[in-house]
Amino acid sequence: MYFKEEFNMKKIVVLGSINVDTILNIARLPLPGETMAMSNRSTAGGGKGANQAIAAVRAGSETAFISKIGKDHAADFMIDTFKEDGLNIEHVTEDETAGTGKAYILLDDNGQNSILIYGGANQTITTEDIKNASETIASADCLITEFETPLEASIEAFKIAKANKVLTILNPAPAKNNIPEELLKLSDIIVPNETEAEAITGIKVTDLDSMKKAAKKLHTMGVKHVIITVGANGAFYSLGEEDGFVNAFKVNTVDTTAAGDTFIGYLASALNSDLGNIEEAMKFASKASSITVQTQGAQNSIPYVKNVKI
């Protein structure tokens, strides 16, 4: 049985980044001043927002994407990818001057990565762009955003969402320690990894007790519900009065790129508005992520729902 058979198709909107990823395969991360040879180099579609949108649409959700691209070959490459998956790109617009976003991924032999980002057109998204997409946001079941696009745009989008009773999911990545209080209070669910949780709360996440402390701090900062992902170990959730932990599926990891994005896209696609099925939705998302890490690359590694069996 596929988990997909147990939930209704959602309408998801993702506000986020588009990047073309250049993946550099190396044995290990270089030391300062060191010159190293690469074993391979490849290009793939990426960007946290695009990854999350692709994950949601492949999970079976009707998905719209709000983003910006440049007028370049990289943009053509990404648009073709979106069309193949049936992603609604009505609100993916062109910037006249900035280029399409780029990411340079250092991938070591253990499957761990370090990523350098050129924001480009992603950083030109404005509140006016969000207002132009207000009807799309208002009609959604869930809105997702992250930190590779301007905070002002995220706040505007979340305001529209909350005014229309749309579930909001904030993925605070890349890590920031000065998130506006307004954005946190507009977030129904925050989904940081352990590094991002520490950056926000100042609490180092190492075990279940520290996860609970970090979640409590996030609640006091205004976030209603918290999910902290801890890589190959799984994910912790706190709904205030209720908390729990969902173990990850054990697999041989090749590349962790887009694992967190896959988790969020699949989570949003499965999660009920009252969060009553949170553990089941997290298991579904975790299973999808476990498939993602077994293939090198970002969007090409995100699975289709027919292949996500629980």
CA gap 176, 141 in Å, rounded? 27
Q: Which amino acid is at 233?
A: N
pLDDT over 60 at 49, yes or no: yes
Q: What is residue 7's predicted lDDT score, i.e. its pLDDT?
A: 57
Asked if omega into 180 is within 30° of 0 (cis), the reply is no
Q: What is residue 1's predicted lDDT score, i.e. its pLDDT?
A: 40
Domain contains 30: no
Per residue in 239-274, pLDDT tens?
988 999 999 999 988 877 789 999 999 999 999 999
Ligand-binding annotation for 33, yes or no, is no
Helix (H) or strand (E) holding 305: none
Per residue in 281-301, pLDDT tens?
999 999 999 999 988 777 888
CA gap 259, 265 in Å, rounded? 10
Helix (H) or strand (E) holding 16: none
Q: For 2-6, 211-215, 218-222, which range has the lowest pLDDT when averaged over its residues?
A: 2-6
pLDDT over 60 at 70, yes or no: yes
Per residue in 115-148, pLDDT tens?
888 999 999 999 999 999 999 999 999 999 999 9
| Average pLDDT over every residue of 219-239 | 96
Domain contains 280: yes
Of the pLDDT bands very low, low, confident and very high (cuts 50, 70, 90), residue 13 is very high
Catalytic residue among 85, 207, 261, 274: 261
| Cβ–Cβ < 8 Å for 220, 201 | no
Is residue 44 packed enough to be buried (19+ CB in 10 Å), middle (13-18) or exposed (0-12)? Answer: buried
Q: What are phi and psi of 104, to 5 degrees?
A: -115, 115
Q: Which long-range contacts (CB under 8 A, 24 or more apart) does 307-310 make?
A: 308/2, 308/3, 308/4, 308/59, 308/266, 308/284, 309/1, 309/2, 309/3, 310/1, 310/2, 310/3, 310/283, 310/284
Domain contains 207: yes
Domain contains 233: yes
* Number of domains into which the chain is organized: 1
Return the percentage of the chain with pLDDT > 90, whole number. 80
Ligand-binding annotation for 111, yes or no, is no
Domain contains 55: yes
Pairing of strands 19-25, 40-46: antiparallel
Ligand-binding annotation for 134, yes or no, is no
Domain contains 24: no
Ligand-binding annotation for 293, yes or no, is no
Of the pLDDT bands very low, low, confident and very high (cuts 50, 70, 90), residue 110 is confident
pLDDT over 60 at 2, yes or no: no
261 as an active site residue: the answer is yes
Ligand-binding annotation for 45, yes or no, is no
Q: For 158-162, 191-195, 250-254, which range has the lowest pLDDT when averaged over its residues?
A: 250-254
Of the pLDDT bands very low, low, confident and very high (cuts 50, 70, 90), residue 111 is confident
Task: Provide the Cα torsion 147, 152, 154, 159; round to 10°.
Answer: 160
CA gap 48, 35 in Å, rounded? 29
| Cβ–Cβ < 8 Å for 203, 228 | no
Q: Give the CATH number for residue 273.
A: 3.40.1190.20
| Cβ–Cβ < 8 Å for 59, 9 | no
The whole-chain average pLDDT of the chain stands at 93
Domain contains 191: yes
∠ CA 145-230-8 to the nearest 5 degrees? Answer: 50
Asked if omega into 174 is within 30° of 0 (cis), the reply is yes
Ligand-binding annotation for 128, yes or no, is no
Ligand-binding annotation for 50, yes or no, is yes
pTM: 0.91
Range of the domain at 193: 3-17+47-100+123-307
Domain contains 71: yes
Return the percentage of the chain with pLDDT > 70, whole number. 97
Q: What is residue 25's predicted lDDT score, i.e. its pLDDT?
A: 94
pLDDT over 60 at 179, yes or no: yes
Terminal alpha carbon distance of the chain: 7
| Average pLDDT over every residue of 17-36 | 93
